[in-house]
Chain A
Amino acid sequence: MKSPAFVTNTAPEVKPAPKEQTEWLESVSRMEPATSVLAIPQQQKQPGKLKQPGAWSVFSSTFLTIFLAEMGDKTQLATLLMSAESQSPWVVFAGASAALIATSLLGVLLGRWLARCLSPKTLEISAATLLLFISVLLLWDVVNI
């Protein structure tokens, strides 16, 4: 590929014509020291990919979703009943907490495993379908109480 005509080759060694646009910018700035154009390599933007939410927003949206799904759920009910009729409610809380941490861990690990098996598109559709299914179940609960 030929260098652009206006780039005068005053350097003692002839650099081969660069293929990448960034390298071209670098070579131009080297030849004209007054140029303040920095050859910052352009981040290859993936087309059609939205900016991923930060960790805090993921945390809070997960927290809100699962907290609302859990209120009045059979798991919470079971914890309530067990702690009411046992003489040591905090032992019940300890056992319940351990079980909840274990099942959450299993859930997230299963989710990650599925993420590795499925293509990103299939994964997004499956996750959305699953969440819609959950919201239908919740609405069903609301209607039936």
Chain B
Amino acid sequence: MEWHLLGLSFITVFLAEIGDKSQLAAIALGGSSKSPLAVFLGAVTALLLASFLGVIAGGEMAAFLPARVLKAIAAIGFALIAVRLLWPQEDLPEDSE
């Protein structure tokens, strides 16, 4: 069990998710609903499913591409996410998601 990878994933996703649209939706829906438990379970199911699809897609990519290419793509991808977070006002010329 790779504990540092587990910890890193936890922290990365936690920080990415705080203040994210889906958490704002959880706040709004959870506060205004009579059954916050249903909201919590619906949110968790949705997020776990989306995460699962991401892991499957990532696994598929890993099967096709060599390790160095994957790490390069991941590095560029994270840099783009960081830039987009730090400069929200600027219109980036190309938004490659």
Contacts and interface: CB of A to CB of B under 8 A. Distances in A.
Nearest to A138: B21
B28 A130 contact: yes
18 contacts: A58-B39, A60-B42, A61-B42, A62-B38, A65-B25, A67-B46, A74-B84, A77-B97, A78-B81, A80-B58, A81-B73, A84-B73, A93-B55, A97-B51, A99-B17, A100-B13, A105-B40, A108-B27
Nearest to A57: B38
Interface of B: 1-2, 5-14, 16-18, 20-55, 57-59, 61-62, 65, 67, 70-71, 73-74, 77-78, 81, 84-85, 92, 95, 97
A28 interface: no
A145 B97 CA distance: 7
Interface of A: 52, 55-56, 58-67, 69-86, 88-112, 114-115, 123-124, 126-128, 130-131, 133-134, 137-138, 144-145
Contact of B52 (A93, A103, A107, A131): A93
Contacts of B45: 59, 63
Given A78-B16, A80-B55, A91-B9, A111 B70 contact: no
B62 A95 contact: no
A81 B78 contact: yes
Q: Is the interface of B mostly helix, strand, loop or mixed?
A: helix
A102 B25 CA distance: 15
Given A62-B43, A73-B22, A90-B55, 17 more contacts: A62-B26, A62-B42, A73-B21, A75-B22, A79-B58, A84-B61, A84-B70, A85-B62, A88-B2, A92-B55, A95-B5, A95-B8, A100-B47, A106-B18, A128-B28, A130-B24, A138-B21
B18 A92 contact: no
A99 B32 contact: no
B26 A104 contact: yes
Contact of B30 (A60, A82, A100, A108): A108
A96 B39 CA distance: 19
A103 B38 contact: no
B31 A91 contact: no
A137 B25 CA distance: 12
A138 B41 CA distance: 22
